[in-house]
Amino acid sequence: MYRSINVGMLGAGNVGATFAEFLLSRAPEIQDINGLDLRLTRIAVRDAGRKRPGLPDALLTEDVKAVTDADDIDVVVEVMGGIEPARSYVLAALRAGKPVVTANKELIAKHGPELYAAADATGVDLFFETAAVASVPILRLLRESFLGEDITSVLGIVNGTSNYMLTRMSEEGLAYDEVLRQAQEAGYAEPDPTNDVSGADAASKLAILASLAFKRAIAVDDVEREGIEGLEREDFEIAERFGYVIKSVAKADVFGTTGTGEREVGVQVFPALVDRNHPLANVRSTFNAVFLRGSAAGDQMFYGHGAGRLPSASALLGDLVTAADHVRRGTHRAVPLGSPAVLRPTELLAHPHYLKLDVADAPGVLSEVTGVLGRHGVSIRSITQEEGASRARVVFITHRTPEGAMRKAVEELRGLDRVLGIGGMLRIVEA
């Protein structure tokens, strides 16, 4: 059955313009395959007079309501970015009974439950595959294929910029400032890279992934984040010697047994030493991957391009086709969320740790340091010591230790006269 579906867009920046051209080129084949006649009808932009190569001028308007409220628009695609006015426009479209497809991770991570409720109230779809790992269809799997699965862990590399930088630092021995400059020159990092290198971008994506995986509302502000800015070249050399690579990982876990009441959730983004035998260790350059663990399904990993104009356009079009098909059938798919997640305090989250110290090269120093660690319940798995002229470099690998205990131990170590410097403390992800 053929059915014309009129598509309105909000925004036509880099991703939006690419998507519009992609839709115009792919629409005839989509119609041939499943009978959906997708017609790009109107695009709301700030300046309709500015030429946009590949987009007919007749499609452009500065009247947002001509997209969000117009009777002749069936589905709205939001590619503006940011929180406001995107949130107001998406709510207006949903309340007008129009399904929305969005690429806006910040919006979904911060206001998802409000938007999901608005979509359900009028019985329309809200799809946002592009907001997590772009062309990797992980959210569709969580919303559909794994809806009945008890997912207990989400572990991912979900920011291509930081992964590109860490790959270059690891494989070529580049310093942080140099690899950041090269990433900016190559277009992988923004002039202001804060969102990527601080873990903020990954935190938004993890909030979305964990919400759908655990069926509990998790906001971006619930995610503790730590960036890659403090990593030193020596950390990569030490990691290599111990059989690890350094990655910025997004990690979410459920604690407790299903069916025994409300379980706790821990959500974090941080740079970590990842065992070379772990599948994520081989995710290089700008690629992303998400590793899921399910009670019944076991371990699953999903890998692909997590950003970029064409991968994002592909994911947007996939969502649009599904939304349009639901319009044709008169149905929609709700976002499967229960009550807000109960968060486990960060100080109780446990990991093995890597700790690097510079200490005075004198008798009894190592005993003094291990005594502090022992008092805080930090169990040491291995110690490596390198002698210097007047100081020694000591690297500890610990067994699983709660973060609160590690932080208290490090704070006490800072107060020791013969501890000359604490070079870094990183969590470890084992295979």
- Residues annotated as catalytic are 205
Going by their DSSP bridges, the two strands 264-275 and 244-255 should be labelled as: antiparallel
Which amino acid makes up residue 180? L
Q: Give the sheet arrangement for strand 60-61, strand by strand.
A: 60-61, 36-44, 3-10, 75-78, 100-102, 126-127
The string over 256-282, giving b where at least 16 C-beta atoms fall within 10 Å of a residue's C-beta and e elsewhere, is eeeeeeebebbbbbbbbbbbeebebbe
Other CB atoms within 10 A of residue 287 CB? 19
The letter for the amino acid at 58 is A
Based on its alpha-carbon atoms, the radius of gyration of the chain, rounded to whole angstroms, reads: 24
Residue of 101, 161, 105, 159 whose CA lies nearest to 131: 105
Tokens of 284: 């290089």
Q: How many beta carbons lie within 10 A of that of residue 240, not counting itself?
A: 14
Burial code (b: 16+ CB inside 10 Å, e: under 16) for 48-63 equals: eeeebeebeeebbbee
Residue listed under structure tokens 């991770």 = 105
421: number of Cβ within 10 Å: 12
Q: Rounded CA gap, 389 and 344, in Å?
A: 45
User: Does the bond joining 85 to the residue before it have cis omega, within 30 degrees of 0?
Assistant: yes
